[in-house]
Amino acid sequence: MEQFVDRLADNLLRYFLSLNCHIDFTSNMSFAITREHFAKHSSFPERDIHQMVSLAPLLNESLSVLLHNELRCGNKIAEVALGWPNTGSVFVLLERRFVGLYEHDTFQYLEVNDPHYWFAEYNSKHEPLHSVCCRWEQPLTYR
């Protein structure tokens, strides 16, 4: 019974977080990642922050809005890479699973579910490939 209550509480929390962390893709919202913003929402040592700040804004607009939403909801950036898996690609890996499921006509969701890689990803539908991926950790819960 206790496990059921815990799962119910987690599901309710996830639902309320999704309400508070809603993305409105129609608002043409964009954001710039500043050094301070990145430092607050990443796990990188201070010496790496400058390099990472220059890479993250290269992410396409729709995925940037998705990333901003995840950061607002407490997720953190674990890794950023440029030029992988192909030239011009932008790759962002988050520490925890996505807070919500997002839909937009410019990207697609894939649950990789492979312990050698990551849990899930959103990929742009155009080349070069832009990706926001998430690790296995559950989203933050507040109890």
110 touches 119 (CB < 8 A) = no
Does 20 have pLDDT greater than 50? no
Question: Does the pLDDT at position 37 exceed 70?
Answer: no
| pTM across the whole model | 0.66
List, for residues 45-89, the tens digit of each pLDDT value. 555 555 565 666 688 888 988 888 888 888 888 888 888 788 989
Cis omega (within 30 of 0) for bond into 85: yes
Domain residue ranges in the chain: 2-137
C-alpha to C-alpha distance for 49 and 74, rounded to whole angstroms? 18
